[in-house]
Amino acid sequence: MVLLNLFLSYFKIGLFSFGGGLAMIPFIQEELIESHGWITSGEFVDMLAISQVTPGPIAINAATFLGYNINGVLGSVVSTMSVILPSFIIITTIAHFLEKFKNSKYVDWIFRGIRPTVLGLVASALYSVGRESISDFKGVIIAITMFYLVGIKKINPIMCIIGAGITGILLY
């Protein structure tokens, strides 16, 4: 039953979230914390941090991590495959029909509607993760500094993550 719930949860996440890993965060949060209670908000933020610094897409890393924590290697495989499966099916179907519909005004309209939705999902993820992650003034300073360094100064994000980790060790 646990494996079926893992499969259905991550299949739903993969099926209904557009825009990549960051846009999936609200869906993952809803399924893992609110619907099933598999992890706490604090564990969710830790899982996101681990998923971000681990090579690979965040949704796949999070699925692998949680699946392993819930049901070992088999849970990890089920979660990872179920989050990938919807994209595989959708992309295969789109590739089959792409030539016929690539110049369709309806397809263009659909994507014009999806783009702002993805931005809203990413903003929602930023708000919920930020609310859980930033608990004091030091955290606010670290977040603003990292945003400035990566977003404006275009410093390599890996270097900023390492720097933030060292800063966290020194400040906390």
The span from the CA of 147 to the CA of 158, in Å, is 13
pLDDT in tens, 147-163: 999 999 999 988 998 99
CB atoms within 10 A of CB 20: 13
Distance CA 25, CA 167 (A): 26
Quick: pLDDT tens for 16-73.
Answer: 876 677 778 888 888 888 899 999 988 988 888 888 888 888 888 989 999 999 999 9
Sign of the alpha-carbon dihedral angle for 122, 126, 129, 132: negative
The pTM score is 0.65
pLDDT, tens digit, 9 for 90 and up, residues 62-113:
899 999 999 999 999 999 999 999 989 988 988 888 777 778 888 889 889 9
- Domain-wise residue ranges, the chain: 2-133, 135-172
